[in-house]
Amino acid sequence: MFAKHIFIHLGFKLINIFKLIFFVTVSITLSLNSFSKPVSREDILATNLLSSKIVSSIRGQEIELPENTTPGAHTHPCPVIGYILEGTVIYQIKGGVAKTLNAGDSFYEPENTIISRFESQDKPVKFIAYYLMQDDNKPLVKMVN
């Protein structure tokens, strides 16, 4: 009777050990699979900076334009790299072709270049602008007549 009791007790312990080994093995396998997924990279902007100045700092801003907004022609004292988060804008550098930028599109504005159009359409626009600064004391936007 005593031997039977020990065998049953050991049997339950072995079953629990096998359950634990199975659980640990499955957990490790799932963890390794989640780490083994490759990192995905997609170019969204590649441009040459039209400036020979050294960038001393970068300022990033999230900017919102209400629907049907026409801010007017403007320049920036430094190169600007932007990314449209939401909405659609008509973007045009003076003398260039107007482009429609949608959510997920990037844009580049060279320093001291007139941006003749940056107009929201029938929905608000949210975008991020990164200003590649050389002088932190200059205003970021200068309106042009």
Residue 30 has pLDDT above 80, yes or no: no
Mean pLDDT within 71-82: 93
What percent of the chain has pLDDT above 70? 72
Q: How far apart are CA 119 and CA 51, in angstroms?
A: 26
Does the domain at 57-143 match CATH 2.60.120.10? Answer given as: yes
Report domain extents, the chain.
57-143
Do residues 111 and 51 lie in contact, with contact meaning Cβ atoms separated by under 8 Å?
Answer: yes
Could you give the C-alpha distances from 35 to 29, 32, 40, 124, 142, in angstroms and in order?
A: 10, 5, 13, 38, 47
- pTM over 0.85? The answer is no
Q: What is the pLDDT of residue 32?
A: 56
- Of 30-34, 101-105, 117-121, the one with minimum mean pLDDT is 30-34
Q: What is the pLDDT of residue 95?
A: 94
Residue 11 has pLDDT above 70, yes or no: no
Across the chain, where does the E strand assignment appear?
Answer: 57-65, 74-75, 80-86, 88-93, 99-102, 106-109, 115-120, 125-133, 142-143
Q: What is the pLDDT of residue 6?
A: 47
Residue 35 has pLDDT above 90, yes or no: no
